[in-house]
Copies of this chain bind each other. A is one copy, B any other.
Amino acid sequence: MKLIFERSVRGRGCSVLPECEVPVWDFQEYGREKELRLPEVSENDISRHYTELAKRTHGVNDGFYPLGSCTMKYNPKINERTAALNGFTGVHPLQPEHTVQGCLEVLKTAEQVFCEITGMDRMTFQPAAGAHGEFTGLLLIKAYHDSRNDEKRTKIIVPDSAHGTNPASAVMAGYAVVNIPSDPDGCVNLQKLREAVGEDTAGLMLTNPNTVGLFDKNILEITRIVHDAGGLVYYDGANLNAIMGVTRPGDMGFDVIHLNLHKTFSTPHGGGGPGSGPVGCKDFLSRFLPSVQVEGDGPYTFTRQPDSIGMVKAFYGNFLVVVKALTYALMLGKDGLLEASQNAVLNANYLMEKLADKYKMPYHRTCMHEFVMSLEQEHEQIGVSAMDIAKALLDYGIHPPTMYFPLIVAEALMVEPTETESKENLDEIIRAFEEIYEQARTNPEVVKAAPHVTPVGRLDEVQAARKPHLKYSYDE
């Protein structure tokens, strides 16, 4: 299809703004030299262009989306409605406090609800995404050690099964990363952990359930080991969807956490954002929280923490995303959140069990909200890779699972059905997976050439990276 620039015709346009009604200010020597080349298109052009783009975009509304660790659950429409209320969208972030009491109430209520769910004492909503939350949380740890003049703590321990953001965030916070190998089941090897911790340990970053979908039973022991060594423990909230109302990071011994509101709390992911990655912490860390906290019980006030690490972005975070997440949490409540987690775990186990006949499950035991399968054997025997299976799913209108993650499993597909899929959808999906498996066995070339019915076939990523073509060339 055309690029919007290829639809542009000089002189075409929409009629958005009037001419200026006061004398026009002259930019003189500050004026730009080169003409601004933006699309010149009618509103009809725009409507059709984006209609075509939408048809080439797979959303949760288009079908199953079991992208492991991304929690692609259904995004309720009431969230969009509350976040679109003019009383929220029309508010300038620098209005006087007494004119934004509703916004402060949203933040305060959300803090209370999410702290209770996670077992934390305070929470900041400033971080705009999970990785941003990790960075923020690690700065809290850093500020804590600094405040104690404990300057030798320069390392963050990260299991090799962790999300890539964990080590990257640690580096951004100025830490050296110590990777420790996981046990075969993706759980922390206590022995390795004991060997790794020491006087230089600033902290440990961990998800639980872990990235292969298992709950690490040793979690209390793990957090104790780190604490005993003088380090703090950070909880990566990417997998919280498995355990709401069942157990809490705070009760597992974690000191700092982040949540992905765009995963666990149903705010839509928008093709890559905006997300929201609030950071919760235990009381002893709260004085380092970034920016401002809401205090009081109506009227509410913004108060800066005494030893704040400073702002991690402008204003108070992705506020309208927080509105959506709060809407969701209030809809479900204590009973609904528990059921959501239970059903997420049920769906994952159901799918895993039904697929286990054909697909190799490296950790074939009760999983949490997601599980990992390995195509290692098929890859060796018939040359069909995890990627091939993923691409074959596209032809069924199914978004593939996360591929090649976690890194500790060869030819991994990480499957997270979420709680909002129904049994009959899962049964249909199982049939699709089975058919693909059969085809991979009987006619592997077809699978290796998949997808066959998508708008484009497999794309040349090597060329894209070698000769970066990152914008429309007007001269083309």
**Contact A9:B44 (CB < 8 A) given known A51-B61, A331-B15:** no
**A residues lining the B interface (CB < 8 Å):** 9, 12, 15, 42-45, 47-48, 51, 55, 60-63, 74, 76-77, 331, 420-422, 424
**Contact A51:B62 (CB < 8 A) given known A9-B422, A331-B15, A422-B9:** yes
Question: Chain B nearest CB: distance from A454 CB in Å?
Answer: 15
Which residues of chain B come closer than 8 Å to A51, judged between CB atoms?
A: 61-62
Task: Give A244 to B44 CA distance when docked, in angstroms.
Answer: 21
| CB–CB B43/A76 < 8 A | yes
Which residues of chain B come closer than 8 Å to A62, judged between CB atoms?
A: 48, 51
Task: Give A62 to B60 CA distance when docked, in angstroms.
Answer: 21
| CB–CB B61/A422 < 8 A | no
A-B contact pairs, 12 of them (CB 8 A): A12-B422, A15-B331, A42-B74, A42-B422, A43-B77, A44-B60, A44-B422, A45-B422, A47-B60, A47-B61, A47-B74, A48-B61
Task: Give A53 to B74 CA distance when docked, in angstroms.
Answer: 18
Task: Give A376 to B435 CA distance when docked, in angstroms.
Answer: 50
**Contact A420:B42 (CB < 8 A) given known A48-B61, A51-B61, A62-B48:** yes
Task: Give A74 to B331 CA distance when docked, in angstroms.
Answer: 39
Task: Give A11 to B55 CA distance when docked, in angstroms.
Answer: 33
Partner of A43, one of B9, B45, B47, B74: B74
Further pairs besides A9-B422, A48-B63: 6, Cβ < 8 Å? A42-B422, A44-B74, A44-B420, A47-B60, A47-B74, A51-B62
Task: Give A44 to B63 CA distance when docked, in angstroms.
Answer: 10
Question: Chain B nearest CB: distance from A40 CB in Å?
Answer: 12
Question: Chain B nearest CB: distance from A68 CB in Å?
Answer: 19
Task: Give A424 to B12 CA distance when docked, in angstroms.
Answer: 13
Question: Chain B nearest CB: distance from A172 CB in Å?
Answer: 37
Which residues of chain B come closer than 8 Å to A422, judged between CB atoms?
A: 9, 12, 42, 44-45
Question: Chain B nearest CB: distance from A333 CB in Å?
Answer: 10
Task: Give A422 to B55 CA distance when docked, in angstroms.
Answer: 22
Which residues of chain B come closer than 8 Å to A420, judged between CB atoms?
A: 42, 44
Task: Give A422 to B45 CA distance when docked, in angstroms.
Answer: 9
Which residues of chain B come closer than 8 Å to A45, judged between CB atoms?
A: 422
Which residues of chain B come closer than 8 Å to A331, judged between CB atoms?
A: 15
Task: Give A424 to B6 CA distance when docked, in angstroms.
Answer: 11
Which residues of chain B come closer than 8 Å to A76, judged between CB atoms?
A: 43
Task: Give A159 to B43 CA distance when docked, in angstroms.
Answer: 38
Which residues of chain B come closer than 8 Å to A9, judged between CB atoms?
A: 422, 424
Top 6 A-B pairs ranked by shortest CB distance? Answer: A44-B74, A51-B61, A47-B61, A44-B420, A48-B61, A51-B62
Question: Chain B nearest CB: distance from A196 CB in Å?
Answer: 43
Question: Chain B nearest CB: distance from A423 CB in Å?
Answer: 9
Task: Give A218 to B9 CA distance when docked, in angstroms.
Answer: 41
Question: Chain B nearest CB: distance from A324 CB in Å?
Answer: 14
**Which residue, of A43, A44, A76, A421, has the highest number of chain B Cβ atoms within 10 A?**
A44
Question: Chain B nearest CB: distance from A3 CB in Å?
Answer: 14
Question: Chain B nearest CB: distance from A58 CB in Å?
Answer: 11
Which residues of chain B come closer than 8 Å to A77, judged between CB atoms?
A: 43, 47
Question: Chain B nearest CB: distance from A335 CB in Å?
Answer: 11
A423's nearest neighbour on chain B, judged by CB, is: B9
Question: Chain B nearest CB: distance from A422 CB in Å?
Answer: 7
A48's nearest neighbour on chain B, judged by CB, is: B61
Task: Give A44 to B422 CA distance when docked, in angstroms.
Answer: 9
Task: Give A129 to B378 CA distance when docked, in angstroms.
Answer: 63
Task: Give A424 to B43 CA distance when docked, in angstroms.
Answer: 15
A331's nearest neighbour on chain B, judged by CB, is: B15
Question: Chain B nearest CB: distance from A82 CB in Å?
Answer: 15
Which residues of chain B come closer than 8 Å to A15, judged between CB atoms?
A: 331
Which residues of chain B come closer than 8 Å to A424, judged between CB atoms?
A: 9
A50's nearest neighbour on chain B, judged by CB, is: B61
Task: Give A25 to B60 CA distance when docked, in angstroms.
Answer: 41
Which residues of chain B come closer than 8 Å to A74, judged between CB atoms?
A: 42-44, 47
A45's nearest neighbour on chain B, judged by CB, is: B422
A86's nearest neighbour on chain B, judged by CB, is: B86
Question: Chain B nearest CB: distance from A270 CB in Å?
Answer: 16
Which residues of chain B come closer than 8 Å to A61, judged between CB atoms?
A: 47-48, 51
A62's nearest neighbour on chain B, judged by CB, is: B51
Task: Give A86 to B77 CA distance when docked, in angstroms.
Answer: 19
Question: Chain B nearest CB: distance from A419 CB in Å?
Answer: 10
A64's nearest neighbour on chain B, judged by CB, is: B48
